[in-house]
Chain A
Amino acid sequence: MTSVAEPVPSTAPVPGRHLRLVWEYSRLNYLKWLAGASWVFTLVLFRVVPPLMGLAIWSSALPGRTDISTYFVALLVVRLVTVSYENHTLSTAIFTGELTDRILKPHPAVLSTLGENVAMRALHVVLALPILVAVALLVPVELRAVDVAAAVPAVLLAAALRFLFTYALALTGFWTVRAHAIVEGGGVLALFLGGEAAPVPLMPDGVRAVLEVLPFRAMLGFPAEVASGLYTGSLAAGLALQLAWIAVFGVLARWAWVRGIRQYQAVGA
């Protein structure tokens, strides 16, 4: 009986393979969550309400300022594009042992988490389109093309930073069952210190100096400030700060992953 040798799949690195894997995971998760679109829509509402509340409060306090209303509309978009639920995907996978499935695949485990993240963000934006259109029509928005163009790299970096920030916090799931609370706490810090409740340029002087350096504004308020013209500093400096924080959280996440996976025992912390 003759046997035909199965060609052994090549394990040589293929350029763009990781990118293609992230795309496939994104597509898969997007379709999966699209089936539960009505529930995801409630998540969208949950993300949309705080910036709109901020808009109501600050428009009431300082009426007639279109830069502030533009800021909050831009913040709405930034919030949706940077949404991160790693505590629900990754931490839960650690607790239930589902992480084993992910680490046994022939690619870095972070790719599936990244794919889930991208899919969720895309779905948030798609489901929020009617709200965004309504808000853009009802709220006085003044956008300059040059500001919007400048905001694009800022948004992309903020999205990367938010992912790494949430991912690093979610990795505490290797050591504590309170990972959800820790990530939620991080989210609350971002809300108050990142410019969602109050734009950082409008904070009192001493506080503002600190907030301008912290990562929260870099991941949330900064792109919105650039888009609305509220940002008065150097764009390059702002982007450099984002890159610096990306490096910090990237290193932190990598360190946490290496330490955590060593003591992972397939059924939680």
Chain B
Amino acid sequence: MRARLARAARAPRLLASIFLTSAQRDVAFRGELMAATAFTTLTTVGTIVTIAAVFTHVDALAGRSAGEAVVIVGTFLVINGFLSCFVEPNVELFATTQVLRGGLDDVLLKPVPSLFLATLGKSRPRALVDTVVGVGVVVAAVATGGDGVTPAGVALWLAMVAVGLLVAWALRVALAVGAFWAPGLETAVFFQSVWQLGRFPVAVYAPWLRLLLTYVVPMALVATVPARALTGHAGGAVVVGAAGLAALSVVVVRALWHAGLRQYTSATS
């Protein structure tokens, strides 16, 4: 137990080292960083122009104001940036390189929790461009129209973003872990399709989808709930519920991971 706790305590330092090493490597490819920046800027401008187009016709989109919709886009980008930086490089080819070809053996033999190394062992720091742009978008939205934003709201937003990060990690890893039972089926494209749903207020979707995205596949926790927290519309119950759901998703993912590992028999399965 103490050994386990000691290993877990090393995780933040390990993550920092992984990040810094990857950053050193990424800095050598400045062209990639410029391409990533251009792409994110293009997509963000496009999304905001779409929202602007919607709001030339109406004053509220499913009860949300234009500012709140833009905050959702910004928050989504913040979390997307972290996900693309810390998690995506590890799981994008999980099914083929790790499970099917036995790359997981390397991970399992290291003296680090396997779930940590398999999902956070590599970083792609240039993807943090998304986070930077996202923060910029949120700040701009608040600066131009944020009457209801208080320091408490900002603190709550930060807390909900952390919760959203946990949920995003859990969703991505839960999907990737399916590779243990369906070897070779890459889930990166499927995840991206569902992930895009978080870009807009969950309230625009049909009621059944809204329920699905709030309680079963908690995409709502990724961007909609933090945005509500920032504008002061999220009550204590929502915050506590969100934190609870995040904790639950981490537990579920850990269980899935260990169940998957029991199935795993290296490259000759």
Contact = CB atoms under 8 A, between A and B. Distances in A.
A204 B39 contact: no
Contacts of B186: 39, 42
Contacts, number: 82
B200 A57 contact: yes
B196 A191 contact: no
Contact of B35 (A57, A178, A202): A178
A13 to B, nearest CB: 41
Given A62-B58, A202-B57, A53 B200 contact: yes
Contacts of B192: 46
Interface string B184-202: 0111011011101101100
B115 to A, nearest CB: 24
A38 to B, nearest CB: 6
A184 interface: yes
A184 B43 CA distance: 11
Interface string B33-57: 0010011001100110110111011
Given A39-B186, A188-B42, A56 B196 contact: no
Interface in B155-200: 185-187, 189-190, 192-194, 196-197, 199-200
A184 B206 CA distance: 30
Contacts of A188: 39, 42-43, 46
B140 interface: no
A185 interface: yes
Most A Cβ at <10 Å: residue of B42, B50, B58, B200: B50
Contact of A204 (B56, B58, B194): B56
Interface in A168-192: 178, 181, 184-185, 188-189, 191-192
Given A46-B189, A49-B197, A181-B35, A202 B46 contact: no
Contact of A49 (B49, B53, B58, B193): B193
A110 interface: no
Interface of A: 38-39, 42-43, 45-46, 48-50, 53, 56-58, 60-62, 178, 181, 184-185, 188-189, 191-193, 197-198, 202-204, 207
Interface of B: 31, 35, 38-39, 42-43, 46-47, 49-50, 52-54, 56-58, 61-62, 185-187, 189-190, 192-194, 196-197, 199-200, 203-206, 209
Given A192-B49, A207-B49, 5 more contacts: A42-B189, A42-B190, A53-B199, A56-B209, A57-B61
